[in-house]
Amino acid sequence: MDANHADLAVAGRLRTASGAYERGELLISGGRIAGRSADIGRVPAAARMDFGAALVLPGLVDAHVHSLSHPGEGIAAATAAAAAGGVTTIVEMPFDADGPVNTPDRLRRKRDRAEEAAHVDVALLATLAPGGGWRAAEELAGLGACGFKASLFDTDPVRFPRIDDAELLEVLAAVAGADRVLCVHAENNEIVKSLIGRERAAAPDDPRAHGRSRPPVSETLGVLTALESALDRGASLHLCHLSLPRSVDLVRYYAEQGLDVTLETCPHYLACTEDDMAAQRGRLKINPPLRDERAREGLWRRLEAGAVDIIGSDHAPWPARFKDHEDVFANHSGVPGVETLLPIALSGALERGPDALNAAVDALTRAPAHRFGLAHRKGALEVGRDADIAVFDPAADTVLRAAAMHSNAGWTPYEGRRVRGRVAATLSRGAVVWDGDKLAGARGHGHVIEPQGAGRRAG
């Protein structure tokens, strides 16, 4: 790479060491960052793009995407939505409609599908089957899995099965031996199953019954089980989609004891509360459920304080017909969100101030890249890293409409919501894949990215 001549120069407002955003330009050669200059136009470049006062950010690493949980979505649609949303790498979940990715053959097939269809880069999680599947951990890691996912709740006995507490210890030991991280869906199975039965019998048409069936203690007990088990086995742990400030506090306590642990929350927990279910009903059925305003505010405060590591979309693109049953428990759980990850997170952060903005940017970029062993290529605008860039214009308000989005889900929980900012461009390895109005890249541009070890919490 030659910092004295570039293939492309991208100008806008870049984050400085002080955390402020000032005008400058990035120099790109061979699809990687070659340098950075405060003197715009000084270095010759074959092409230039100037985005004025827009923020030039690292491309997002969405730590939680389900492209194949419903066959109507697929990697092409999910990564097209990612590109339009400033996401240049997705961490793809392993619980697919045609079976969980828990064998070498299934991982190879999924890798081939991703290479053929993806608009942006993809990192692949695998899972481990109950009943001894942990023995495959080392081989799956050797085939490029960036980590493993397990659930303490029995969502689906085939596609998304539960790992019981005893086997969790075996899984954690195997994942540690494979030098990977275990991602955990942490809800207490016994509490939730019991309360679903009670609430479904009493008030199945009350959308709030879903939240009552998954009270805060069901999440915190699940979190504690995962934390104590990982500490016992010396394993790296990542806790997915936490909805409660208390869960964040528990994770930080164990991190202070020396456990390699990170946590993720999601835009819907930062932007919505249980009160929104009155209007949207089953559309906002999510596991864990939306909480109250106090919890939402508590998550923002912990994000600003550096206690929330990652914001991931938990993109679950169920079509509306799977979300509109009167019986709230008959609806599938989750919402589409990869395309709205950046605007929802940064719009909320901009309302709160510079500390929230910088914390949110780090939680969308640097932290997930470090956690999944991708920081050698992703998550920062540093020399030698991939030239993955999200250009975000905070001055251009946007009204979110599903009709303008690229997921095949066909709806968004944020329909009609006005947010601050818009994604003005997305570059993946130096190539424009979203020009601010339309997709500019093609299927197959994206590649599967392999990790360097288990990763770590970003320091």
Tokens of 310: 């990652």
Going from the C-alpha of 81 to that of each of 98, 278, 317, the distances in angstroms are: 22, 28, 11
The structure tokens 């339009």 sit at 84
Phi and psi at 129, nearest 5°, equal -65, 145
- 455 dihedral zone (left: phi>0; alpha: psi -120 to 50; beta): left
270 membership: H or E segment, kind and range: helix 267-271
pLDDT of residue 237: 98
349 membership: H or E segment, kind and range: helix 341-352
Cα Dmax for the chain: 70
- 144 dihedral zone (left: phi>0; alpha: psi -120 to 50; beta): left
Q: Render pLDDT for 193-237 as a digit per residue (tens, 0 to 9).
A: 999 999 999 988 999 999 999 999 999 999 999 999 999 999 999
Percent share of the chain, pLDDT over 70: 99
Q: Render pLDDT for 159-180 as a digit per residue (tens, 0 to 9).
A: 888 999 999 999 999 999 999 9
Please state, in angstroms and rounded to a whole number, the distance separating the CA atoms of residues 176 and 316.
28
Please state, in angstroms and rounded to a whole number, the distance separating the CA atoms of residues 266 and 270.
7
Overall residue count recorded for the chain in this entry: 459
Q: Render pLDDT for 382-435 as a digit per residue (tens, 0 to 9).
A: 999 999 999 999 999 999 999 999 999 999 999 999 999 999 999 999 999 999
Give me the sign of the Cα torsion angle 47, 51, 57, 62: negative
Going from the C-alpha of 431 to that of each of 51, 52, 55, 202, 434, the distances in angstroms are: 16, 19, 18, 55, 9
Going from the C-alpha of 445 to that of each of 108, 123, 341, 433, 453, the distances in angstroms are: 18, 14, 21, 9, 25
Of 337, 342, 354, 353, nearest to 391 by C-alpha is: 342
Angle made by CA atoms 307, 309, 311, in degrees to the nearest 5: 120
pLDDT of residue 3: 63
Residue type present at position 377 = R
DSSP state at residue 101:
S
> Could you count the other beta carbons within 10 Å of the beta carbon of residue 22?
10
Give me the sign of the Cα torsion angle 450, 453, 458, 459: negative
Mean pLDDT of 19-32: 97
Give me the sign of the Cα torsion angle 271, 275, 277, 278: negative
Average pLDDT, the chain: 97
Domain spans of the chain?
A: 59-371
Give yes or no for a contact between 401 and 413, defined as CB atoms under 8 angstroms apart. Answer: no
Give yes or no for a contact between 295 and 265, defined as CB atoms under 8 angstroms apart. Answer: no
Give yes or no for a contact between 387 and 358, defined as CB atoms under 8 angstroms apart. Answer: no
Q: Is 131 helix (H, G, I), strand (E, B) or coil?
A: coil
Give me the sign of the Cα torsion angle 358, 36, 28, 372: negative
Whether 2 has a pLDDT exceeding 60, the answer reads no
CATH of domain 59-371: 3.20.20.140
Q: Render pLDDT for 190-205 as a digit per residue (tens, 0 to 9).
A: 999 999 999 999 988 9
Mean pLDDT of 324-341: 97
Q: Render pLDDT for 335-366 as a digit per residue (tens, 0 to 9).
A: 999 999 999 999 999 999 999 999 999 999 99
Of 315, 307, 400, nearest to 356 by C-alpha is: 307
Tokens of 77: 């649609």
Report the DSSP pairing between strands 181-185 and 236-239.
parallel
